[in-house]
Amino acid sequence: MFKNVYNKRGVEPKNIESKFDIDELFFSTTDLKGIILSGNDVFVRVSKFSKEEIIGKPHNIIRHPNMPRAVFKALWDTIKQGKPFVGYVVNMAKDGSYYWVLASIYPMFDKEGNIKKYLSIRIKPSSDIFKIIPNLYQDILTYEQREGMDAALEYMLNKIKELGYENYEEFSKKAFLEEMRSRELQLDEKLTVCGNIEKSQDKRNEEIADRLCSLQTIFLRLNRYYTSIYNKVSIFLDMNKELSEKSRFVYQLAEEIRLLSLNASIESYKIKKEGVSFSTLSQEMRKNAEYSEKQILKLTELINETNKDIEETSFNILSCKMQIDMIVYFLKEMLQKLIYESISEKEEQEVNENISDLFELLKFYSEKLSKNVYDSKSKLRNIYYNIKDLNVLINRLDFIHINGLIESAHSGNDGGSFTIIFSQMLKLVEAAKNQIINLETHITTASEENLHIDITAGIIDERLIKLEKKYEDLFS
């Protein structure tokens, strides 16, 4: 699987996996240069370094030589802009063994909006998408060694397009969704460990554990709300696909209406006295076509804007779910540790800082999610009203079509061309009505689901504010 090459540490890669379970999550924080500030016990265990060996070192201490540099260039280019990055990474442990992760790297900001640090959460990849990654990365690496990193980055983006994705962002969001789905399907319900800590002989441990247990209980309750929202992700993404398809249809509809009205105008000049009636009808068609085109372009623009909102909403839902899972897991990890060993004041401070960082990140993305659904609510309402207006225009076309067929019948052979035009219009009107009804149904469903998330997100925001006030010494 891996070439016999060495990294900067002089350690030979081994075709042995440094294993961790599907329910285990790990995180690390780094400064702006990628120096590791902190991390949880799973991170330390899987990397096979001691905590002293890894804290204060560049994150590339665990870089695997078979990892394309082009991926890291894409990563840094993204997070330096203040945007989150999601991608597959193969790392190398201290002894040369490897481990794959899906890493989500989030910039964290100070009060002035400047990036102050990065927080990365990693899960074990297990989806069908992941199956193609090792060979894809090997292909990219081979190209990179021959052509250089910048060329390899472009090569990687082209490979992603060949897989059917418009860009890396689309691919990463799909991978994020599929990995979260795959993980959720494999997870078993885990009991809390709060009850066990009461048997500890260390009084200070008990006090720390009581605090962590209280936090764990609150976050477990919050997790139910996040899970409720997370269960809507598939609905939103399917709805996004439907809206994109309907957007293409209504855009094409404007062009077809315009062409039909143009053909009707041309034909009205070819015939004599009957042309007066057809000219009036063609003018009505042209006028209606102009109104329809404006309405359709407006509707298309609204749909495209809403699609972007839905994409961001879906990403933020996935991020919130991963972040709350990370918090719950970290608290459980620390509670289990307290059963068997005492922690120093310095370690306690580090635990508190980690909880504070994870909470800050969760609150940030929860607020983003609330804004997403609030913005979407207005846009979905506007789409609904625009569909109603478009339906009126389609009904006018239907009326013109009926009058056109009557005039064509009265005109005998002279109206033959118009009969064809108005027959085409009939097909167009029928197709338009079906699509509009379908689109209206999707928008209604979208609005209902958006409302559900809006209400749930509001409850979450209230709970997070209360939690922040209750533990202001921790989260201040």
| Separation CA 171–CA 157 (nearest Å) | 10
DSSP for residue 13: P
- Residues 24/16, Cβ–Cβ less than 8 Å: no
User: 147-167 in b/e burial notation, b at 16+ Cβ within 10 A?
Assistant: eeeeebbebbbebbeeeebee
Q: Tell me what the mean pLDDT of segment 321-340 comes to.
A: 92
Handedness of CA 17, 19, 21, 25 (dihedral sign): negative
Q: What is the pLDDT of residues 15-25, one digit of tens each?
A: 999 999 999 99
| Helix extents (H) in 27-120 | 41-47, 51-54, 69-79
pLDDT for 9 equals 65
Per this entry, what is the length of the chain?
476
| Separation CA 184–CA 187 (nearest Å) | 5
| Separation CA 20–CA 26 (nearest Å) | 10
Quickly state the pLDDT bin for 254 (edges 50, 70, 90).
low
**What are the residue boundaries of the structural domains of the chain, listed by start?**
26-179, 228-475
| Separation CA 129–CA 124 (nearest Å) | 13
Structure tokens at 254: 């404007």
| Separation CA 309–CA 254 (nearest Å) | 25
Least confident residue range of 227-231, 235-239, 276-280:
276-280
Quickly state the pLDDT bin for 476 (edges 50, 70, 90).
confident
Quickly state the pLDDT bin for 236 (edges 50, 70, 90).
confident
% the chain with pLDDT above 70: 83
Phi, psi angle pair for 462, to nearest 5°: -60, -45
Residue 115 pairs in a beta bridge with 109
pLDDT for 2 equals 43
pLDDT for 311 equals 84
Q: What is the pLDDT of residues 50-95, one digit of tens each?
A: 999 999 999 999 999 999 999 999 999 999 999 999 999 999 999 9
Which residue carries 């696909």 as its tokens?
241
pLDDT for 3 equals 45
- Residues 75/85, Cβ–Cβ less than 8 Å: yes
| Separation CA 250–CA 443 (nearest Å) | 15
pLDDT greater than 60 at residue 361 = yes
115, containing H or E segment: strand 115-123
pLDDT for 72 equals 95
Q: What is the pLDDT of residues 101-118, one digit of tens each?
A: 999 999 999 999 999 999
| Separation CA 60–CA 18 (nearest Å) | 17
- Comparing 444 with 133, which gets the higher pLDDT? 133
Q: Tell me what the mean pLDDT of segment 310-320 comes to.
A: 91
Architecture field, domain 26-179? 2-Layer Sandwich (3.30)
Least confident residue range of 41-50, 84-93, 131-140, 413-422:
413-422
Which residue carries 């009850």 as its tokens?
195
Quickly state the pLDDT bin for 391 (edges 50, 70, 90).
confident
| Separation CA 81–CA 59 (nearest Å) | 19
Q: Tell me what the mean pLDDT of segment 410-433 comes to.
A: 67
Structure tokens at 416: 């033959």
% the chain with pLDDT above 90: 52
